[in-house]
Copies of this chain bind each other. A is one copy, B any other.
């Protein structure tokens, strides 16, 4: 196995001054819980004490000394002081006087709570927070906080940009030291579920739910992840009863099919008693599904739900369903409308242990899209938000593109489903519609690269994802700063420059690629680099239909009617070219190149300006990073600089291709006479 680093969990010995503060606190750990409940938490505490404090704590069961770090079950702690009520994964860290001992009391209900608590405590110590002021009560907003791996059993990763799969190699399941460290990384940011395999379940991967060699290995993997409060899930192929079971159908209303799934569930749970459940991409991009058998998504999902229900498992059913054999000549079909059209009529019909997982936007993870109208539309259905941590359309971990700022916009989007304040985050945490099984899923950006994510700064995306899943109300600036300190230390210039780069980077990437919600001008298949008409005549339904005078698809009430899927006032706001937010202008409207924006600029001039600006901003990123030479270890400094250098070259390519494309379309030169290639 190759060497790897530990991202934000790379513990270094604390500076002398701080050592003295903290050592007193970590010398003795008083246990008011069963050893089994705090097993992992203690392991983590000890590891940190050893690496950062050069200390081996003693484990005690009573208060004898002046100071104590207490790990206690809330039930037991309640005998000592008034304890807050908490979600089962929650915890508190409180500075209290207990039996005359000045105590830092870490309380939780279950093993996972203790793990979260200890990682939180370690984080705060590493950020330099004084124990005396610690007063933390924390519980997750979202019940399900998952990463989805699009890993294939041959070791490749669909849309992976950080090496090979950490879970599969050559058709086998991998479990090694790195697997445990991955569980640690995930637990430290509050993740509680991981889907191990690609949603496109093909070839050998179909057998994961059946072949005992795999199930034995999954059982061991589940044990490992369980220590860290994480359940494992699998993506399944809807046609499994045919492929594995030898049935001639996978019709969800067929008794034999239903029985097959029930037996299969029994088999899985006999190996993995707390198996999370299935993630299903059905009737989507050539994956089989209930439509193939003349049935509905409800029929399909509920059948699987029935099989998993006795064991407490869930079915996560993706709403990424659309016609992927569209004809570009057909202007009436609008892919943006597909998820809503498919699933809105089914609201209220899904079983309680079914969750619909919806990509944030109506298309597919573009650098900017409006929030999917489906979130506000399903009132009686469990919902999960799907984000893409891996940077498929956002620079593939060659480009710096911090996604937290944009995710925050998505979570804070007000759907107006129950009037003002009906934020997406209140839907996917279950509170708005009173649903229990809700959450957020992020498609993983992790692979076997030594730094896990290819681009070192892309670690911030994974970190932020977990932190926002736990608490979507957290400020992104705070998350970014803590990630920087945990990862690169607390040098002021390092903090400021990296924060500046991260916070700006998504908008910068948007500027030099496809602003105004245009999207899709990428090379087909691999989706890297500019190709303005790469998808223009394809079957994928992603057209901009640029001609000599205008560009964009009219998705208003006068066009495809997509805007009508939104509730007021968004419906009206998006519907009018006057009120539509300009960064989504070309998503919703067909606009003439000479259309005047609010700034007074024409669309075409603004297009040119943004592309020149975007490149200038990348030049600034390079400069900001170069200022950090000597302040960051040379390995990571060089690695990031290489990527930034590539980013700059590729940003120029984007700028020039897009500007030339529009210039060749229109013959309109840049007002400021900058270089546009003819």
Contact = CB atoms under 8 A, between A and B. Distances in A.
Contacts of A306: none
Given A547-B678, A548-B665, A549-B667, A531 B523 contact: no
A370 interface: no
Instruction: Give chain A's interface secondary structure class.
Output: loop
Contacts of A523: 524
Nearest to A551: B664
A531 B531 CA distance: 11
B548 A666 contact: yes
Nearest to A331: B678
Interface stretch (A494-502, A532-540, A557-565, A608-616): A532-540
A81 to B, nearest CB: 67
A329 interface: yes
A140 interface: no
Nearest to A549: B667
Interface residues of A, number: 29
Contacts of A533: 531-534, 536
Candidate in A537, A549, A666, A678 with the most chain B CB atoms within 10 angstroms: A537
A667 B531 CA distance: 22
Contact of A656 (B329, B536, B666): B329
Contact of A547 (B525, B653, B667): B667
A650 to B, nearest CB: 12
Interface in A174-223: none
A516 B677 CA distance: 25
A535 to B, nearest CB: 10
Contacts of A545: 664, 678
A658 B315 CA distance: 46
Interface string A656-673: 110010011111000000
Interface in A504-559: 523-525, 530-534, 536-537, 545-549
Interface string A591-614: 000000000000000000000000
A224 to B, nearest CB: 37
23 contacts: A328-B657, A328-B677, A329-B656, A329-B660, A329-B677, A331-B678, A523-B524, A530-B537, A531-B533, A532-B537, A533-B533, A533-B534, A534-B534, A537-B660, A545-B678, A547-B664, A547-B665, A547-B667, A547-B678, A548-B548, A548-B664, A548-B666, A549-B667
Closest A-B pairs by Cβ, 6 of them = A547-B664, A533-B533, A329-B677, A548-B667, A537-B657, A329-B656
Interface of A: 328-329, 331, 523-525, 530-534, 536-537, 545-549, 653, 656-657, 660, 663-667, 677-678
